Structure 1
Amino acid sequence: MKMTKPKSESYRALFLGDVHMSNKLPHARTGADGITDRLKDQVKMWADLERYRADAGIKDVWVLGDLFDRPLVDAATLTATVKALVSIAAGGGFVRILPGNHDTDDPTASRFVVDALESMDLEGVRSLSSDDMLVKISDWMTMWLMPYAPVPKNRERLLQIAELAPGAPGSVLLMHNSVLGARHMGWLCDAGLGATEVCAGFDAVFSGHFHTAQEFGTCGRYLGAPYQFGFGDEGEERGFWDVTFRPPDAEFRPGEINDPLEITRTLVPVAAPKFWTVGWDSQAHAVNKCSDAGGIAGDYVLVDVRATAAEFEALRPAVDQQIADLESHGFKASAHHDHVYHHTTRLDSDTGSAEVASPHQLIGEYVKHIGTVGDLDKDKLLAVGRELYEEATK
């Protein structure tokens, strides 16, 4: 006979990952106090999260990796982060932090900068380590923990969990790593854990690491980052997650196939600046283009100008004026020169071709057309040219 659980039982928590706290994020502008606008935006995100948590009566907050952007943390970043976490704890919350790859400079992932938070013994803040295998939420739910580690080590971790998980009800895996086939800034992951091996035996898998929220396997989900970091994130809705877990109708039966947890999740958008790219158009009003797309004051705007070097120089005063206009309306604007190369036409007069050549092609064409290279090795000269170009365009 199957016993049933009362449906009033539930576990509700907030989840986020890839916060990347830093006073030196890309595109940041430093204020007179030495604090960048982007760090202030991050601090505001934590304040909004704490307000939401308190209003909703939620206790637990889970951070699934990359709390910090880099393992060498500056004073401004550390101070802002600790204050944010302590504020949540002081309000009655409890923050658990799973280490991510940006939290370590150790190739074996045996130490993390977030370990320092654990040594501070902050009440209501826990930095989880590889020694922490699980957190038992209730008699019907268990959180299994897999901090970032090289893929082979995480694969061993999955095997260790697999030996224990069948005896635990409502198994949920929390992790921070790559899963094959997942997307990150236009790249499909081709090196990582398999979605099938990650999801096997779990009711749900929540992961940090890739910044685009997406599903994988039968029950896996990347949370995504809580806000946009750059122009590659355009158009993506970001935020943290409000998740509620409920037990299945039937009681857990060890050694048998059990019904999965009932899980509902809601993305809570964060009021953080967004990124927009607008193509250059001398006749169009860039402010209107951004506003029509949904941009507001405080957002970052890139005016993309596709032109030859000579054309760009001629356009520069008008481009600068458009940037100034955007700035006057509260946008944080900059211009990008998308180079059009037309050297091939000049170098290959026989064909009359108007093809656009790549920089690497141009290096070869240049060497071919200057005639003798004396005692220099031609292949070496080409290689040096390519290296110089790549270094200059990093």
Structure 2
Amino acid sequence: MRLLHTSDWHIGRTFHGQDLLEDQESVLSALADLVAQHQVDVVIVAGDLYDRAVPSSEAVQVATRALRRIRDAGAVIVVSSGNHDSAPRLGAFSDFLAAGGLHLRTSVARLADPVLIPHPDGDVAVYALPFLEPELARIPLGVDGRPGHQAVVSAAMDRVRSDLAARPAGTRSVVAAHAFVVGGRAGGSERSIAVGGVESVTSDVFAGIDYVALGHLHGAQQIEPRLRYSGSPLPYSFTEAGHEKGVWLVDLAADGSITDRWLPLPVVRPLAVVSGRLADVLLEHPDLGDHYLSVVLTDPVRPLEPMRRLRERFPHALTVIWEPAGDRRPGPVRPAASSTPTDAEILAEFLIDCRGCAASPTEAQLIDAALSSERIAEVVA
């Protein structure tokens, strides 16, 4: 049985104001090509299909086209809900969709109801656990008190193992779970799943399962040989600039052993972070014109209109931060604590705080003229 493990599509996400739907559709189309090329039997999406509980109509259309391409490529699809998804919305019409090969698992009640994939070497039971928010999941799972993620995921896995034990000998098992497993490294663009408690779970809660397809962390990584994250198909933070995005191709043998292969996904638009004075950045980096760019400016004085000037040279620049070299911004000259600052002193301090230098003589004259005009208007009134 050949599985393809992916997660955290976050369809509809924006990146520092940049719409990513076109990028996401391109990458997910490439994922469907991998399914066809490698004759994948089952595609697992381990949570966070969408980026928000109420996705836009455009995001839904992108998801629909991506899932249709994967299904047309010949794979059965199993999707679980993540912490970004609305489980009830995502799970709507799940019984009807299952007839077409798209299996949605979004409710606690069905987490021990596997998707059974028939195979000559023995059936494969795919248990797709939805994201389990402890306060909401504790009652249906029969967990007392105010439990954390460890307790509710443990209770869910007890149900999974109980169901698996009742199945014919030789049934192989796969679990998809959206969780933060101890030992995992966050990529920087994940939303915390802790609400008044510890958000992590230990890997031993998944004991006895042939393969565990994890979602939530956006960097691909292996926790244990049979337990790993695929990461997101696109980078969603500049902290992920060095990540290689892709999917796990997993062959599950008749005895439950696995062999795996990492399949990289195409980079639609690479990420880069550059630092330096604005004039130098504009003259250098000729190879970054097609990158999403984050710029850290080290000019001693805050440049005027830096983003406009950067985008003339780098049309996909998204963020700009001013951090003077050595952070040696001159401190404002504050009046004595016993005195009340004048309007002129407040404006002078504001300029120094904002851009790192005092007003020029011309600017000082303009400030004086403006304040004088304001005083005259108050007297006339």
TM-score normalized by structure 1?
0.68
Q: Which residue of 2 aligns with 1:49?
A: 31
2:50 aligned counterpart, secondary structure: coil
Q: Go from structure 1 to structure 2 and tell me whether the alpha carbon gap of 1:40 and 1:318 turns closer, same or farther (over 3 Å shift).
A: closer
CA distance in 2, matches of 1:91, 1:181: 35
Which of residues 331, 337, 344 in structure 2 aligns to 1:370? 337
1:206 aligned counterpart, secondary structure: strand
Q: Which residue of 2 aligns with 1:136?
A: 116
Post-superposition offset of 1:216: 1.9
Is the contact between residue 278 and residue 290 of structure 1 (CA under 8 Å) also seen in structure 2? Answer: no
Query: Partner amino acid for 1:154?
Result: V
Q: Which residue of 1 aligns with 2:90?
A: 114
Q: Which residue of 2 aligns with 1:325?
A: 313
Which of residues 323, 326, 350 in structure 2 aligns to 1:338? 323
Is the contact between residue 128 and residue 175 of structure 2 (CA under 8 Å) also seen in structure 1? Answer: yes
Is the contact between residue 196 and residue 218 of structure 1 (CA under 8 Å) also seen in structure 2? Answer: no
Q: Go from structure 1 to structure 2 and tell me whether the alpha carbon gap of 1:171 and 1:59 turns closer, same or farther (over 3 Å shift).
A: closer
CA distance in 2, matches of 1:51, 1:211: 22
Identity within the alignment, %: 21
Query: Partner amino acid for 2:223?
Result: F
1:94 aligns with 2:76: yes
1:303 aligns with 2:283: no
CA distance in 2, matches of 1:120, 1:163: 27
Is the contact between residue 226 and residue 270 of structure 1 (CA under 8 Å) also seen in structure 2? Answer: no
1:126 aligns with 2:93: no
Which of residues 262, 265, 271 in structure 1 aligns to 2:267? 271
**For each residue in 1:217-266, what CA deviation from the matched residue of structure 2 results, as whole angstroms up to 9, or x when unmatched?**
56321111111012121101112222222223xxxxxxxxxxx5132222
Q: Which residue of 2 aligns with 1:20?
A: 10
1:215 aligned counterpart, secondary structure: strand
Query: Partner amino acid for 1:171?
Result: S
Q: Go from structure 1 to structure 2 and tell me whether the alpha carbon gap of 1:135 and 1:319 turns closer, same or farther (over 3 Å shift).
A: closer
Q: Which residue of 2 aligns with 1:172?
A: 174
Query: Partner amino acid for 1:142?
Result: A
Q: Which residue of 2 aligns with 1:381?
A: none
CA distance in 2, matches of 1:266, 1:182: 18
Post-superposition offset of 1:372: 7.9
Post-superposition offset of 1:269: 2.1
Post-superposition offset of 1:50: 1.6
CA distance in 2, matches of 1:269, 1:286: 31
CA distance in 2, matches of 1:196, 1:285: 45
Is the contact between residue 61 and residue 96 of structure 1 (CA under 8 Å) also seen in structure 2? Answer: yes
Is the contact between residue 9 and residue 49 of structure 2 (CA under 8 Å) also seen in structure 1? Answer: yes
**For each residue in 1:335-367, what CA deviation from the matched residue of structure 2 results, as whole angstroms up to 9, or x when unmatched?**
2223647465856xxxxxxxxxxxxxxxxxx9x
Q: Go from structure 1 to structure 2 and tell me whether the alpha carbon gap of 1:218 and 1:195 turns closer, same or farther (over 3 Å shift).
A: farther
Q: Which residue of 1 aligns with 2:57?
A: 75
Post-superposition offset of 1:66: 0.2
Is the contact between residue 282 and residue 318 of structure 1 (CA under 8 Å) also seen in structure 2? Answer: yes
Superposed counterparts of 1:241-280, under 5 Å: 241-248=248-255, 260-280=256-276
Give unpaired runs (5+ residues) of structure 2.
Answer: 134-148, 341-381
Q: Go from structure 1 to structure 2 and tell me whether the alpha carbon gap of 1:86 and 1:198 turns closer, same or farther (over 3 Å shift).
A: same
Q: Go from structure 1 to structure 2 and tell me whether the alpha carbon gap of 1:286 and 1:219 turns closer, same or farther (over 3 Å shift).
A: farther
Q: Go from structure 1 to structure 2 and tell me whether the alpha carbon gap of 1:240 and 1:112 turns closer, same or farther (over 3 Å shift).
A: farther
Post-superposition offset of 1:272: 2.4
CA distance in 2, matches of 1:89, 1:140: 20
Post-superposition offset of 1:296: 6.4
Q: Go from structure 1 to structure 2 and tell me whether the alpha carbon gap of 1:175 and 1:290 turns closer, same or farther (over 3 Å shift).
A: farther
Query: Partner amino acid for 2:102?
Result: V
**For each residue in 1:134-183, what CA deviation from the matched residue of structure 2 results, as whole angstroms up to 9, or x when unmatched?**
23334264333322102233221012223344566433322111212322
Which of residues 119, 122, 145 in structure 1 aligns to 2:128? 145
Q: Which residue of 1 aligns with 2:220?
A: 213
Post-superposition offset of 1:19: 0.1
Report the aligned-residue RMSD.
3.2
Post-superposition offset of 1:124: 2.6
Is the contact between residue 195 and residue 217 of structure 1 (CA under 8 Å) also seen in structure 2? Answer: no
2:3 aligned counterpart, secondary structure: strand
1:225 aligns with 2:232: yes
Is the contact between residue 71 and residue 112 of structure 1 (CA under 8 Å) also seen in structure 2? Answer: no
Is the contact between residue 219 and residue 230 of structure 2 (CA under 8 Å) also seen in structure 1? Answer: yes
2:160 aligned counterpart, secondary structure: helix
Q: Which residue of 2 aligns with 1:358?
A: none
Post-superposition offset of 1:67: 0.2
CA distance in 1, matches of 2:268, 2:275: 23
CA distance in 1, matches of 2:254, 2:71: 27
Query: Partner amino acid for 1:18?
Result: D
1:121 aligned counterpart, secondary structure: helix
1:101 aligned counterpart, secondary structure: coil
